[in-house]
Structure 1
Amino acid sequence: MSTVLKPLADRVLVESAPAEEKTASGIIIPDTAKEKPLKGTVVAAGPGKTDEPMTVKVGDSVIYGQYSGTEIKLDGKTYLIMRESDIYGIVEG
């Protein structure tokens, strides 16, 4: 049985994009040197606040700050839960 998390208010649940495994020139990056990804996909979103409706929706590809959100584990996968204001923008195209 899978766990379902429904964010409240202006919170969103984001699945981070995988960290880069190697550089453009083909050098493999060790785990200790990988940078935390700053891009992910919204997998759940709260309803927003009364005076501030949500801008992002499930499926949006987003960019967020390096220290944004709190990591949580659900069914063996790691996600970030953050406020919509921690998201810098939606990636289109």
Structure 2
Amino acid sequence: MAAQATFKSIKSLVPLLDRVLVQRFKPETKTASGIFLPTSATNSPLPEGTVIAVGPGAPNRTGNVVPTNVKAGDRVLLPGWGGNAIKVGDEEYYLYKDSEILAKIQE
């Protein structure tokens, strides 16, 4: 697992360059009728999450800043690996590079 940092408030964390701060969705561990689901049934092949904050973008080869492809509030599909874990209280967030995010989920 990636290195983990701990902060008191998520507002104190501002992503730099093309970094994206994401909170992964927690899989349901119990059905509506109260039946507990085994871990194998709750592990999605690719995790989803909500973008919390984004950096301003990273410069390209000519020095122009290319903005990130996602914005705060977007629902995204994440890779099954990578990201740097960040703990805020009991909540866990992850920092990804914009290019590591697989897709934006539109409803």
1:38 aligns to 2:47 (yes or no) = yes
- Report the secondary structure of 1:85's partner residue: helix
Tell me which residue corresponds to 1:80. 94
Identity of aligned residues (%): 38
5+ residue gaps, structure 2: 1-7, 61-65
Letter in 1 for 2:9: S
Tell me which residue corresponds to 2:24. 16
Greater CA deviation, 7-16 or 43-52? 43-52
Compute the displacement of 1:68 (Å).
Answer: 2.7
Distance 1:39 1:12 in 2: 14
Larger Rg belongs to: 2
Scaled by the length of structure 2, what TM-score is found? 0.72
Letter in 2 for 1:38: P
Number of equivalences:
92
Distance 2:28 2:99 in 1: 26
Letter in 2 for 1:29: L
- Report the secondary structure of 2:102's partner residue: strand
Distance 2:26 2:50 in 1: 11
Scaled by the length of structure 1, what TM-score is found? 0.81
Q: Deviations over 1:34-80 (max 9, x none)?
A: 42661000001001112322110000000011113121102331101
1:91 aligns to 2:105 (yes or no) = yes
| Structure 1 runs, 4 residues or longer, greater than 6 Å off | none
